[in-house]
Chains A and B, each alone.
Chain A
Amino acid sequence: MVELTIDGKKVSVEDGITILKAAQMNGIKIPNMCYDKRLRPYGACRLCVVEAEKQPRLLASCSTPVAPGMVILTDTPKLRKVRQTVLELMLIHHPLDCPICDKAGECDLQDVAYEYGKPEGRFIRHRKAMPPDVRGPLVELTANRCILCGKCVRICSEHQGRGALGLIGRGFPTVVQPAFGEILECDYCGQCIDICPTGALLSKPFKFQARAWFLEEKDTICPFCGCGCTLTLGTREGNVLRSRGKEDNGRSEGNLCGRGRFGFDYIYSDNRLKTPLIRKNGAFVQATWDEALMHISDSLKYIINSYGKDSVGAIGSHRCTNEDNFMLRKFMVSVIGSHNMDSSAAFGYSKVQKALDMAFGLKTHSINMKSPLGKDVIFILESDISITHPVFGLNILQAKREGSQLIVADSRDTKLTRHSSNYLKMRQGTSVALLNGMMKIILDKGLFNREIVSKTQGFTEFETSLAEYTPGKVSKMTGISEEELVSTAETIAKAKNRMISLTVSATENTKGMDTVLAASNLVILLGEDIDALQIPAEYANTYGTYKMGIRPDAGKTDVKDIFDMLYETNSLNALYIMGEDPVSTFPYNSKIMRTLKSLELLVVQDIALTETAKLAHVVLPASSWAEKDGTFVNAEGIEQKIHRIVDAPGQSLPDWQILRNLSLSMGKEIAIRNIEGVSEEIKKTIREDQKTSDKRVFNTVSYSAGEEPDMEYPLSLVTRDVLQHSGSMSTRSKALDLVVSEAFLEINEDDARKFGISDNSHVKITSRRGTIYLKAKVTDTVQPGTVFTSMHFPHGRVNALTYPSENGAAGTDAVKIESVKG
């Protein structure tokens, strides 16, 4: 600790921090323009200068470390004069176009100029006269307003790890630009917009929409991935106009990705449902709530009477709040009397859960967003966390910057592989073989505590099962060289502490339950706690949906799970789908469609007319995330409130309210009047999770390939997420569709040549289950023999090719492709 005096206040702070930080920690404000706590000190603006006793020079407080006994003055006439001059110099080039600048009203430069600025300038100005760069889809660059603090450039390269912007030129003509003055093509996270102290970088969708002082800002939780970031939504007269992150606000501490920042406008998509629809003679007819609910309750009663309670099933949703999912459960259990419930978690989080239950005896698994920090070795297994969970990914990048060793095993180049210390280029879907091979090396070299670990249940079987995974064989399976395998295994085993992370979700087909089991084995083998394994739940409320009991094992044991409900015809007679779109997001959609068409009653409750809703008998309009109160549980297991910010369109209602009304029309009184009532019920019924357990079990896992490429289907299809999209909900956002609006097939240059495919040409892709047509993108980021695509887009129908893997193995698909001429 260091003792020093700032403005007459004696403070004691940690050694090595800067004067500015010390002052901020003690509530003393020093004006600054180029400092951000996420970035390294830069010292560009010189506004943060302070006086120190016995120091002839002024010190830039943002980059001067504290020293014992320092006496600092932060606001003296001399400093004011200096700051005034600094501002005067900044304002030489800054155009005073505040009336048409969207930053006005929340502009750092405006605020500082108001406080310290001089009423007149002494210099002849040379204004930059560059037209604003409006070519990019989401970010607009106005070089004239830039004061060259370099914050955007630094946050892009240091924090986001992207480096899309640079300071181009020297001296006065310096501008912030993408390389060679081209169109800004980046992650579109928009962090540069938030961090810019002037209006040089602005959000395009928000351009000229409202002045800062007309906006009413409300905090809510992002509806996309499992990070659970806090969005600050700017609304005007009941319309959400923008979303931004506030410093130190929420789990994300102000960081946002492109989805959170630009994707909120899916609530204004054109095909939002406004009234209930009932299918009459094959076509949808608008109906009133009474008609629709009566129709459903009559049909349900008839089905229960003729086929029994177990012929009714329900699918919950990670897009809905805990309250909605809880009401669905209550409706199913106490009104229908059936336990056939499941959600999209069955393809991801449930698998993780099952595996961890087997290995660690835990019923829930939560991550810690800060866990990568301070870890010796971070091992990422065939996952692009900076795409699926961008803000968690930022922490991984930060840990790497702070000295952790980042080992990434992946089958394609991603942001994480670019930043990795070791990049293991592996064959797709071979994580289990890789993990088994590494464990074999650790076992053989004795890099674990045999005395303790050998007592663990299942160790002997586990050890013998690994016998076949010799480095040579694993090297052949995974495509990673033997030396690399050995050195990686040694690094991971010898590290002081480590973190192993991967993602499992419906949109990825290279990992399954086996992968999680193998990763758990590694963790147990190394004598680590479950904290070393970080597998985030995929979407905003996947964790909550699971916790609320929308899962097949919650009630009885002989219940039907999603594989029975959607992939087996005649297993159900009625299906109630809340906020889920199986036809466009779950694998093997032709089979799903066959099942759904065979149902006697299909009720879909959603915000828009989805592909699934088009097959329904009754469609009920629900409110979106911004139009209702409730709670989401993020991947960390933290419950966060979402708020009703705008009015719901038309007659749409919150999901829990629809289910309550439906219960009433079924003749069952549910004593719930309002959202607080639901919350109380939840508190009474749902038990808190157990977070620790002593159970450790080795589960023998053997590598089995999904569909291996053969002569007929020579390529392997891998599905992954695209950074700008999350599930199929974000594809309704106009802003995000400006960046990526359709599914595309990424193919290696060599393969493209082999199959005669050129960039942007159309390709016919056939698997054993279906055929689709996509645009090709020839790239060198994927390996020969594999093609990549994403499942988000309903029109892409990529899930016509894939199949659900029930047994836990990875479900890669073999496909053949043909170029489409003409």
Chain B
Amino acid sequence: MTTGKFIRTIFFIEMLKGMAFTLKTFFFTPPVTRRYPKKVRVYSQPGFRGLHALAKNEEGKMKCVGCGLCGAYCPSQCIYIYTTEGEDHNKVVDRYEIETPRCIYCGFCVEACPFGAITLSEHYEYSTYSRDSLYMTKENLLDNWDKYFAGEKGKRYFKDFWRPKSEDFNGYENQAMFNKVKIKGKE
């Protein structure tokens, strides 16, 4: 054992160095983490996949026709759609339900939707104390559209990132057969 090492051991020099570092970082440097409920980080990445919403058209009606492609695509099978025949023999979506605790936020439902009816909003703060409130019903999902996609914001975000196929289609009554062809005279 050399003299220098002996002195360092006797006087706890190494430990003091460590303590000094701790003292410096703990007391005099600001924390990396945020105090979440009080301070909220603002995300601006487009395409963040958060809470689901059901889109409404210009008239304020639900865009979904209940084709069930989202439910067919969904890898965790958490989308339930129940339709019946309406009064004038049209298809009516009675229930559209998403079991959000089981959702993996892959966004396949959004890609599958031929009408751009189901979307994932940027909202992610919806943890609660009850499981029931995480079970999204049709009414909840439509409310989400008003809450998180109100005005221009939703439209832009939705189009920029997802570019839904409904852009190419014009409602199922006069859908173009395939993307490239437009109906003559309508142009």
What is the interface of chain A, defined by CB distance below 8 A to chain B? Answer: 91-92, 95-100, 104-105, 118-122, 124-125, 127, 132, 134, 207-211, 213-214
B67 close to A211 (CB less than 8 A): yes
Q: Does B175 contact A (CB under 8 A)?
A: yes
Q: Please name all residues of chain A whose beta carbon is closer than 8 Å to the beta carbon of B184 when the two chains form the complex.
A: 124
* A96-B67 contact given A124-B183, A208-B91, A213-B72, CB 8 Å threshold: no
* A119-B179 contact given A99-B115, A100-B65, A214-B68, CB 8 Å threshold: yes
Q: Does B152 contact A (CB under 8 A)?
A: no
B181 close to A211 (CB less than 8 A): no
Q: Which residue of B lies closest to A91 (CB)?
A: B177
A208 close to B85 (CB less than 8 A): yes
Q: Please name all residues of chain B whose beta carbon is closer than 8 Å to the beta carbon of A104 when the two chains form the complex.
A: 67
* A96-B177 contact given A104-B67, A209-B83, CB 8 Å threshold: yes
Report Cα–Cα, A747/B155, bound state, in Å.
68
CB distance from B55 to the nearest CB of A (A): 15
Contact among A96, A119, A134, A214 for B71, CB-based, below 8 A: A214
B177 close to A125 (CB less than 8 A): yes
Which 5 A-B pairs have CB atoms at the shortest separation, nearest pair first? Answer: A99-B67, A211-B68, A120-B178, A120-B180, A208-B83
9 of the cross-chain contacts (CB-CB < 8 Å) are A96-B177, A99-B114, A100-B90, A104-B67, A120-B179, A208-B83, A210-B83, A211-B72, A214-B72
For window 166-187 of chain B, which residues contact chain A by CB distance below 8 Å? 172-175, 177-181, 183-184
Q: Does B69 contact A (CB under 8 A)?
A: yes
Q: Please name all residues of chain B whose beta carbon is closer than 8 Å to the beta carbon of A120 when the two chains form the complex.
A: 177-181
A99 close to B65 (CB less than 8 A): yes
CB distance from A378 to the nearest CB of B (A): 43
Q: Please name all residues of chain B whose beta carbon is closer than 8 Å to the beta carbon of A118 when the two chains form the complex.
A: 178
CB distance from A132 to the nearest CB of B (A): 7
Q: Which residue of B lies closest to A104 (CB)?
A: B67
B114 close to A208 (CB less than 8 A): no
Extra pairs beyond A100-B66, A213-B68 (17, CB < 8 Å): A96-B172, A96-B175, A98-B67, A99-B66, A100-B65, A100-B172, A104-B67, A120-B177, A121-B177, A122-B181, A125-B177, A134-B89, A208-B83, A208-B84, A209-B83, A211-B68, A214-B71
Q: Please name all residues of chain A whose beta carbon is closer than 8 Å to the beta carbon of B72 when the two chains form the complex.
A: 105, 211, 213-214
* A121-B172 contact given A99-B114, A209-B84, CB 8 Å threshold: no
Contact among B67, B81, B179, B180 for A100, CB-based, below 8 A: B67
CB distance from B157 to the nearest CB of A (A): 24
Q: Please name all residues of chain A whose beta carbon is closer than 8 Å to the beta carbon of B81 when the two chains form the complex.
A: 211, 214
* A132-B89 contact given A99-B65, A100-B172, CB 8 Å threshold: yes
Report Cα–Cα, A207/B180, bound state, in Å.
32
Report Cα–Cα, A98/B67, bound state, in Å.
8
Q: Please name all residues of chain A whose beta carbon is closer than 8 Å to the beta carbon of B91 when the two chains form the complex.
A: 100, 208
CB distance from B102 to the nearest CB of A (A): 16
Q: Flag B70-100 by CB within 8 Å of A: 1 or 0 each.
A: 0110000000010111000111100000000
A97 close to B71 (CB less than 8 A): no
Report Cα–Cα, A182/B66, bound state, in Å.
31
Report Cα–Cα, A178/B184, bound state, in Å.
34
Q: Flag B103-115 by CB within 8 Å of A: 1 or 0 each.
A: 0000000000011
Report Cα–Cα, A118/B183, bound state, in Å.
17
Q: Which residue of B lies closest to A97 (CB)?
A: B172
Q: Which residue of A lies closest to B84 (CB)?
A: A208
Contact among A98, A99, A207, A211 for B85, CB-based, below 8 A: A207
CB distance from A492 to the nearest CB of B (A): 52
Report Cα–Cα, A95/B172, bound state, in Å.
8
Report Cα–Cα, A91/B71, bound state, in Å.
26
Report Cα–Cα, A407/B151, bound state, in Å.
77
**Chain A CB within 10 Å, residue with most, of B84, B89, B114, B173:** B89
Q: Please name all residues of chain B whose beta carbon is closer than 8 Å to the beta carbon of A122 when the two chains form the complex.
A: 181
Q: How many residues of B contact A (CB 8 A)?
A: 28
Contact among A92, A95, A134 for B175, CB-based, below 8 A: A95
B178 close to A121 (CB less than 8 A): yes
Q: Please name all residues of chain A whose beta carbon is closer than 8 Å to the beta carbon of B68 when the two chains form the complex.
A: 211, 213-214
A121 close to B65 (CB less than 8 A): no
**Chain B CB within 10 Å, residue with most, of A119, A208, A214:** A208
Q: Which residue of B lies closest to A206 (CB)?
A: B85
CB distance from A696 to the nearest CB of B (A): 60
**Chain B CB within 10 Å, residue with most, of A91, A100, A104, A210:** A100
Q: Please name all residues of chain A whose beta carbon is closer than 8 Å to the beta carbon of B84 when the two chains form the complex.
A: 208-209
Report Cα–Cα, A95/B90, bound state, in Å.
16
Q: Flag B14-48 by CB within 8 Å of A: 1 or 0 each.
A: 00000000000000000000000000000000000
CB distance from B122 to the nearest CB of A (A): 27
CB distance from B3 to the nearest CB of A (A): 82
Q: Which residue of A lies closest to B86 (CB)?
A: A208
Q: Which residue of B lies closest to A124 (CB)?
A: B184
B67 close to A119 (CB less than 8 A): no
Report Cα–Cα, A288/B73, bound state, in Å.
46
Report Cα–Cα, A105/B174, bound state, in Å.
21
Q: Please name all residues of chain A whose beta carbon is closer than 8 Å to the beta carbon of B173 when the two chains form the complex.
A: 95, 97
Q: Please name all residues of chain B whose beta carbon is closer than 8 Å to the beta carbon of A92 when the two chains form the complex.
A: 177
Report Cα–Cα, A194/B185, bound state, in Å.
39
For window 132-187 of chain B, which residues contact chain A by CB distance below 8 Å? 172-175, 177-181, 183-184
A119 close to B178 (CB less than 8 A): yes
Q: Please name all residues of chain B whose beta carbon is closer than 8 Å to the beta carbon of A97 when the two chains form the complex.
A: 172-173, 175
CB distance from A445 to the nearest CB of B (A): 63
Q: Please name all residues of chain B whose beta carbon is closer than 8 Å to the beta carbon of A121 when the two chains form the complex.
A: 177-178, 181
Report Cα–Cα, A97/B90, bound state, in Å.
12
Q: Which residue of B lies closest to A121 (CB)?
A: B177
A125 close to B183 (CB less than 8 A): yes
Q: Please name all residues of chain B whose beta carbon is closer than 8 Å to the beta carbon of A98 when the two chains form the complex.
A: 67
CB distance from A338 to the nearest CB of B (A): 51
Report Cα–Cα, A99/B67, bound state, in Å.
4
Q: Which residue of B lies closest to A117 (CB)?
A: B178
Q: Which residue of A lies closest to B185 (CB)?
A: A124
Report Cα–Cα, A120/B69, bound state, in Å.
22
Q: Which residue of A lies closest to B175 (CB)?
A: A96
Report Cα–Cα, A120/B182, bound state, in Å.
10
Report Cα–Cα, A96/B176, bound state, in Å.
8
Report Cα–Cα, A211/B71, bound state, in Å.
10
Q: Please name all residues of chain A whose beta carbon is closer than 8 Å to the beta carbon of B178 when the two chains form the complex.
A: 118-121
Q: Which residue of A lies closest to B174 (CB)?
A: A127
Report Cα–Cα, A634/B172, bound state, in Å.
47
Q: Which residue of B lies closest to A237 (CB)?
A: B80
Q: Please name all residues of chain A whose beta carbon is closer than 8 Å to the beta carbon of B67 when the two chains form the complex.
A: 98-100, 104, 211
**Chain A CB within 10 Å, residue with most, of B66, B67, B81:** B67
CB distance from A284 to the nearest CB of B (A): 34
Q: Which residue of A lies closest to B178 (CB)?
A: A120
CB distance from B111 to the nearest CB of A (A): 15
Q: Please name all residues of chain B whose beta carbon is closer than 8 Å to the beta carbon of A214 when the two chains form the complex.
A: 68, 71-72, 81
B69 close to A99 (CB less than 8 A): yes
Q: Please name all residues of chain B whose beta carbon is closer than 8 Å to the beta carbon of A211 when the two chains form the complex.
A: 67-68, 71-72, 81
Q: Which residue of B lies closest to A118 (CB)?
A: B178
Report Cα–Cα, A398/B175, bound state, in Å.
44
CB distance from A758 to the nearest CB of B (A): 34
CB distance from A116 to the nearest CB of B (A): 14
CB distance from B108 to the nearest CB of A (A): 14
Q: Please name all residues of chain B whose beta carbon is closer than 8 Å to the beta carbon of A127 when the two chains form the complex.
A: 174
Q: Please name all residues of chain A whose beta carbon is closer than 8 Å to the beta carbon of B175 when the two chains form the complex.
A: 95-97
CB distance from B150 to the nearest CB of A (A): 27
**Chain A CB within 10 Å, residue with most, of B65, B72, B115:** B72
Q: Please name all residues of chain A whose beta carbon is closer than 8 Å to the beta carbon of B180 when the two chains form the complex.
A: 119-120
Report Cα–Cα, A214/B174, bound state, in Å.
27
CB distance from B137 to the nearest CB of A (A): 17
A99 close to B172 (CB less than 8 A): yes
Report Cα–Cα, A92/B173, bound state, in Å.
14
Report Cα–Cα, A121/B68, bound state, in Å.
26
Report Cα–Cα, A208/B67, bound state, in Å.
9
Q: Which residue of A lies closest to B73 (CB)?
A: A213
CB distance from A734 to the nearest CB of B (A): 14
Q: Please name all residues of chain A whose beta carbon is closer than 8 Å to the beta carbon of B69 when the two chains form the complex.
A: 99
Report Cα–Cα, A213/B178, bound state, in Å.
24
